[in-house]
A and B are shown apart, each in its own frame.
Chain A
C-alpha cells in the first residue's frame, strides 16, 4: 500500500500505524500474557472456561451495542432488558401463562427462549420507534426504557427473587438450566451461542447491504437518506438487535443461577459500551467492528478476573478499568490523526 519512494520516514509511520490499528489485540495479548505469568492458576482449563463465561455475557450486549453506536446512537436500556427478560423467563418456568379462563399455558425450554427473545426485541422496537418516529434523542429514549423495563421487572415479582427454576419434565422445561450450564463438545453452550451471534453480526456488518447502511447512517445520516437508505428501518433494526442480544443474556443468567432476580443486569450497559469503545467503535458513529468489540470485551473481562485472582482490591480494579478505557480512546485519536496524515502524504 505504501509507496517506497516516500522513504524511510513514512514506512516507520506505517509500522506504528499497524501496531496502533491492532492495539486492542495487542492489549489482549499483553493482559493475557501478564496474568498467565503473574497469576498462578490463571491458565488452568477451568479458569479459562470461567473467564470466557463471564466475558460472554458482556460480549453479547457489546455486539448489539456496537451496531447501535455505529449508527450514532446509544442503548442504555440493555441492562434493564436483561433484568426484565430474566424475570420473564423465571415467570414462564415457574408459572406459565394464566389464560384467565381456567387453564394455564405451559412451555418447554425452546418456547420459553423464543418468548423471552421476542420480549427483548419488542423493547428494542419501542426504543427504535421512539427514536425514529417520535424523534426522541437515543440517550433519552433508552434512558426512559431503562427505568421502565427495570420497573416492570420489579413489579413482576414485587421485588422478590423467582427461586428454583428447575423446570418441569412434564412440560419439557427441565432442560432450562442447560442453557447456562450445559456444554457441547466440552465447550459451554453459551460460548457456542456467542460464536453464532458474533459470526452473524460480523457477517451483517461486512457482507450485507444492511450492514453497509448501518455504517452510512452513522457516517452521514442525511447523505444516507438522500442516497436511498431507509434510515428509520436501519435504526429500528439495530435497537431490535440490541434488545435481542440483551434477552439472550437474561436467559443465560436466569438459567445459570436457576433463579431470577429483578436487579439482574444493573450497570451492564456501561460495561457493554466500554467493550465497544475499547474495541475501536467511535462514539460519534460510522466506525467500529464486531471483532474489535469481542476483543474489547475479553480485555475487560480478563483484566477483571485476573485482578481478582491476584487479590487486587475491588476499588483499585474500578480505577484501573476506567484508566484503560480512557487510554484506549486516546490511542484511537492518535491513530486517526496518523492515518489521515499518511493518506494525505500518499496523495501528495
Chain B
C-alpha cells in the first residue's frame, strides 16, 4: 500500500496554542499522495486548525512539517500555495459582486504587464475549468446570481486553477446537491490518478467511507485513530470520535415533564428558486424538557428558530406557546408570550457591543422596568446585578462595555437577557459555539438547572457529543425536514445516519 501511495507531507509532534486553549496536542499526521486522506472529528476537535497549518494560514507552535522529506515552514498561505498546496474553504471566500472568472483568478489575475487584465484569457480558463467540472456556469455570470452549490463549485475551480499537488477540501459537499457531489467525486478520483494528495474533511460519514483511502480521527486536538479505510465502518468512526466523554452532564434523577410549553405545526419557509428551507416542521417541547435539534450545516435549523422568532415574514405555519396560539408577528410580541432566543452569532445578533453589560442584560425587559415612560434606573441596575450573580458572570463592573468580556461571559449575558423576560420556552442556537471548555460546562449546567426549574429548552447543535449528553429527546433535521426523533441514550450511529436522509445519498 505504501508503495502505491507515497507520503508527501508529514507532521510530527504538531502543537498549536491559541490564547487560553491548546487546539492541537502533539499530532502526528501523514498525508499520502495519490490518495484521499479523510479527516474526521467533532466541531472543535482540531480538524480546521490542522488544515490551516498545512495550508499555511496558521503556523505550528511546536513540531515540524516535512514536505517531500525536507523540513519546511510556511510563512503564509501564499507561501504554501507556491509549494503546491491548495485549499477549498468551508466558508466561501468569494465576491458576489464580481463575475465567476474574476473570482477564479482573484489575486493572480491573468494580466498584460501586470496592469491590463486579459479578460478573454480568464474567461477561456474559467470555461475550461467548468467543462472539467461538468458545470454549465458562464464565466461572465455575476457570482451572486449563482446558487450556493454552484458557488461552491466555483470555489473548487479556484483551487483547481492553481494546479495544486496537495488539495484540501473542508466540508465541500455541505452545500452541494447529490448530482454535484457525484461530479466532485469523479474529479477527486481523476486528481488522485494524477498523483494529487487530497485531504477531505466532512461530517457525512457514509460519504467519507465511500471516497476515502485513509482515515484519521481527531478528538480534542489529539489523533484517536488512523488507518487505511479498508474495513472501517460508521461504528468504528463514531467510537473514535466521541469516546466516553458523553457521560459528562448526566441528568440527576428521572424527571417527569410538565405540560407542553411550545408546539410548532407545519412551519414552512419557502426558498428562492423553489423548495423549502424549512419544510413543514412540527415539533413540541414540554416544561422541564431539553430537546436537542441536531443536523448538519445548512439543514435549516437556524432558519426554523428564526421563523419562530418572527424574523421571516414569508414563513407559514402555526405556533403555540403554553397551549395558546401565537398570533403576533413581531419578535416583541412573541417575547411577551414567553419565547426567548439565544442566537447563534452573539456578535451579530445577540449583543449590542458598544453598550454596557447592564444595558445589554435589560434590553429585552425595559418596559417591565419602567413605570409608563419612566425607566427606573435603580431597579434596572438591581435586576442586572441579580442576573450577574445568579449566572456567575465574571465582570469588573456592569457599566463596562459588553465587548470587554470573554466569549463565555458574553454568552451568559445573552442568556441573562433572555431569562430576564421570564420565558416559558428557551430557544438556543449553538449555545456552546466559540466559548472555551470550562464556560461550555457552565452553560450546560445552567441549561440543566433551568430545565429543572420548569423551563422548556429547544437547542440547536452540530456537536454530536453535546446533543447526546444534554438532550432528553433528540430531533434530527436535514434538508429543512425533521428526519428522525430519538430518545436520550440512543445509538450515536443512528443519530448520525438521520442527518443524511435517504434520497440525498448517492448510490456508490
Chain A residues in the interface with B (C-beta under 8 A): 1, 207-213, 215-216, 219-220, 222-230, 286-287, 343-344, 346-347
Chain A residues near B350 (CB-CB < 8 A): 223, 226
For chain B, give the interface size range. Answer: 35 or more
Interface centre among A208, A209, A224, A343 (most CB of B within 10 A): A209
Bound together, the chains give a CA A226 to CA B339 distance in angstroms of 11
Contact B311 A210 (CB under 8 A): no
Given contacts A208-B374, A209-B370, A344-B404, contact A220 B352 (CB under 8 A): yes
Contact B396 A226 (CB under 8 A): no
Mark contacts of B18-35 with chain A using CB atoms, 8 A cut-off: 1 yes-contact digit, 0 otherwise: 000000000000000000
Chain A residues near B374 (CB-CB < 8 A): 207-208
Mark contacts of B49-92 with chain A using CB atoms, 8 A cut-off: 1 yes-contact digit, 0 otherwise: 00000000000000000000000000000000000000000000
Given contacts A225-B311, A226-B331, A226-B343, contact A219 B353 (CB under 8 A): yes
Question: Is B136 part of the contact surface with A, judged by Cβ < 8 Å?
Answer: no
Contact B370 A222 (CB under 8 A): no
Contact B332 A230 (CB under 8 A): yes
Bound together, the chains give a CA A230 to CA B404 distance in angstroms of 27
Some 16 contacts from A to B, beta carbons below 8 A apart, are A1-B397, A209-B370, A209-B373, A212-B375, A216-B359, A220-B348, A222-B349, A223-B348, A226-B341, A226-B343, A227-B335, A227-B417, A228-B335, A228-B363, A229-B363, A286-B355
- Report the 9 A-B pairs with minimum CB-CB distance, sorted nearest first: A209-B366, A219-B352, A228-B335, A228-B332, A220-B352, A227-B364, A227-B363, A228-B364, A343-B404
B207 to chain A, nearest CB (A): 34
Contact A226 B375 (CB under 8 A): no
Question: Is B354 part of the contact surface with A, judged by Cβ < 8 Å?
Answer: yes
Given contacts A212-B375, A225-B311, A230-B332, contact A219 B400 (CB under 8 A): no
User: Considering the complex, which residues of chain B in the window 355-412 have a beta carbon less than 8 Å from any beta carbon of chain A?
Assistant: 355, 359, 362-364, 366-367, 369-370, 373-375, 377, 396-397, 400-401, 404
Chain A residue with Cβ nearest B406? A347
Given contacts A220-B351, A220-B352, A286-B354, contact A212 B377 (CB under 8 A): no
Bound together, the chains give a CA A223 to CA B346 distance in angstroms of 9
Question: Is B330 part of the contact surface with A, judged by Cβ < 8 Å?
Answer: yes
B479 to chain A, nearest CB (A): 25
Question: Is B40 part of the contact surface with A, judged by Cβ < 8 Å?
Answer: no
Chain B residues near A229 (CB-CB < 8 A): 332, 363
Bound together, the chains give a CA A286 to CA B367 distance in angstroms of 20
Interface centre among B309, B343, B370, B375 (most CB of A within 10 A): B375
User: Considering the complex, which residues of chain B in the window 334-348 have a beta carbon less than 8 Å from any beta carbon of chain A?
Assistant: 335-336, 341, 343, 348
Chain B residues near A208 (CB-CB < 8 A): 370, 373-375
Interface centre among B311, B336, B354, B396 (most CB of A within 10 A): B354
Question: Is B421 part of the contact surface with A, judged by Cβ < 8 Å?
Answer: yes
Chain B residue with Cβ nearest A343? B404
A-B contact sample (10 more), CB < 8 A, given A223-B348, A223-B350, A226-B311 = A208-B374, A209-B373, A212-B375, A220-B352, A222-B349, A223-B343, A227-B363, A227-B364, A286-B355, A343-B401
Chain A residues near B341 (CB-CB < 8 A): 226
Bound together, the chains give a CA A346 to CA B332 distance in angstroms of 36
Chain A residues near B348 (CB-CB < 8 A): 220, 222-223
Chain B residues in the interface with A (C-beta under 8 A): 309, 311, 330-332, 335-336, 341, 343, 348-355, 359, 362-364, 366-367, 369-370, 373-375, 377, 396-397, 400-401, 404, 417, 421
Bound together, the chains give a CA A341 to CA B197 distance in angstroms of 46
Chain B residues near A228 (CB-CB < 8 A): 331-332, 335-336, 363-364, 421
Chain B residues near A347 (CB-CB < 8 A): 396, 404
Contact A213 B366 (CB under 8 A): yes
Contact A220 B366 (CB under 8 A): no
Bound together, the chains give a CA A171 to CA B487 distance in angstroms of 81
Bound together, the chains give a CA A219 to CA B400 distance in angstroms of 15
Bound together, the chains give a CA A227 to CA B355 distance in angstroms of 14
Bound together, the chains give a CA A100 to CA B331 distance in angstroms of 47
Interface centre among A208, A211, A344 (most CB of B within 10 A): A208
Chain A residue with Cβ nearest B331? A228
Bound together, the chains give a CA A225 to CA B334 distance in angstroms of 12
Chain B residue with Cβ nearest A217? B352
Chain A residues near B370 (CB-CB < 8 A): 208-209
Chain A residue with Cβ nearest B380? A212
Bound together, the chains give a CA A213 to CA B353 distance in angstroms of 14
Interface centre among A212, A213, A223, A226 (most CB of B within 10 A): A226
Chain B residues near A216 (CB-CB < 8 A): 352, 355, 359, 363
Interface centre among A212, A213, A228 (most CB of B within 10 A): A228
Bound together, the chains give a CA A219 to CA B363 distance in angstroms of 12
Bound together, the chains give a CA A207 to CA B379 distance in angstroms of 12
Interface centre among B309, B352, B364 (most CB of A within 10 A): B352
B95 to chain A, nearest CB (A): 22
Chain B residue with Cβ nearest A204? B373
Bound together, the chains give a CA A220 to CA B355 distance in angstroms of 10
Contact B354 A219 (CB under 8 A): yes
B320 to chain A, nearest CB (A): 19
Chain B residue with Cβ nearest A346? B396
Chain B residues near A223 (CB-CB < 8 A): 343, 348-352
Contact A343 B352 (CB under 8 A): no
Bound together, the chains give a CA A347 to CA B400 distance in angstroms of 10
Contact A230 B354 (CB under 8 A): no
Chain B residue with Cβ nearest A216? B352
Bound together, the chains give a CA A227 to CA B309 distance in angstroms of 10
Chain A residue with Cβ nearest B363? A227
Chain A residues near B397 (CB-CB < 8 A): 1
Bound together, the chains give a CA A16 to CA B62 distance in angstroms of 43
